[in-house]
Amino acid sequence: MGESRQKASPSRRPSPANYDFLDSLTAQPRLSDLPSLDDLYGMYAIYNQQYFEGKLPGVKISYSKRMLAAGAYYPTRKEIKISEHYHRLFPDEVYDTLKHEMIHVVHFTHNAAFKTIARRIGASIRANEHPSLRRPPRFIYLCPICFTEYPRVRRLRMASCGRCSRKGFDERFKLVLKRRPKGVTGQ
């Protein structure tokens, strides 16, 4: 009662003519909106010639539905995985991620040589942050002396407080499991 509702004007009412427009405002990009694997293989070949003088070996390229990072290179499998989840959030970065992972074929870590090549070819060194790309901590550990909390995704076996123990592990400052969220089982 007492509430007044404005009638929608005829031009603002949803109709079959503007459903696609409304969907485009709220929908996440679909995998089909991302480059196909053939496109990625094609760009790999182009980047290999353009930036690496054709010296990179052939690799398998695939999309991952589980990965939260932008991408990864697996040297033992000679495989580049591109995160479907990340690139739904940042669809314009697929080719940048491909270039980044191609550098990992030559330099596995983000060392100085990696960064030099990244600057030369215009590849980013770090991916974007987004709240949905972080895993919530499954375990909360506590220092028994200074009470600093350490949220962790994985269970710790032997860890001591970084503030209290100055050099490596110190049994006196061993972190204690404070809380394990509901649904997490095991030790």
Taking 90 as the threshold, does the pLDDT of residue 15 lie above it? no
pLDDT at residue 182, as a whole number: 63
Q: What's the average model confidence in pLDDT over 147-156?
A: 88
Task: Tell whether 103 and 42 lie within a shared domain.
Answer: yes
pLDDT band at 94 (very low <50, low <70, confident <90, very high): very high
Domain that holds residue 106: 31-132
pLDDT at residue 24, as a whole number: 42
Mean pLDDT of the chain: 81
Q: Give the range among 32-36, 86-90, 181-185 with minimum mean pLDDT.
A: 181-185
Task: Tell whether 91 and 152 lie within a shared domain.
Answer: no
Per-residue model confidence as pLDDT tens digits over 110-148 = 999 999 999 999 999 988 777 677 777 889 999 999 999
Dump strand ranges (E) for the chain: 60-64, 71-74, 79-83, 139-142, 149-152, 176-179
pLDDT at residue 181, as a whole number: 60
Asked if residue 20 belongs to a domain, the reply is no
pLDDT at residue 183, as a whole number: 58
Taking 70 as the threshold, does the pLDDT of residue 30 lie above it? no
Asked if residue 4 belongs to a domain, the reply is no
Tokens, residue 133: 């790309």
Count of structural domains within the chain: 2
Task: Tell whether 38 and 127 lie within a shared domain.
Answer: yes
Task: Tell whether 42 and 73 lie within a shared domain.
Answer: yes
- Residue 125 DSSP one-character state: S
Asked if residue 8 belongs to a domain, the reply is no
Task: Tell whether 98 and 178 lie within a shared domain.
Answer: no
pLDDT at residue 10, as a whole number: 41
Dump strand ranges (E) for 18-159: 60-64, 71-74, 79-83, 139-142, 149-152
Task: Tell whether 36 and 100 lie within a shared domain.
Answer: yes
Asked if residue 117 belongs to a domain, the reply is yes
pLDDT band at 45 (very low <50, low <70, confident <90, very high): very high
Task: Tell whether 40 and 126 lie within a shared domain.
Answer: yes
Per-residue model confidence as pLDDT tens digits over 156-187 = 888 999 889 888 889 899 999 987 666 555 54
Task: Tell whether 45 and 80 lie within a shared domain.
Answer: yes
Give, in order, the Cα–Cα distances in Å from 25 to each of 21, 35, 85, 90. Answer: 7, 21, 18, 15
Q: Please give the share of the chain, as a percent, with pLDDT higher than 90.
A: 52
Asked if residue 60 belongs to a domain, the reply is yes
Taking 80 as the threshold, does the pLDDT of residue 103 lie above it? yes
Please list, in sequence order, all residues whose beta carbon lies within 8 angstroms of the beta carbon of residue 104, skipping any fewer than 6 positions away. 73, 75, 114
Asked if residue 17 belongs to a domain, the reply is no
Asked if residue 180 belongs to a domain, the reply is yes
Task: Tell whether 108 and 148 lie within a shared domain.
Answer: no
Task: Tell whether 80 and 172 lie within a shared domain.
Answer: no
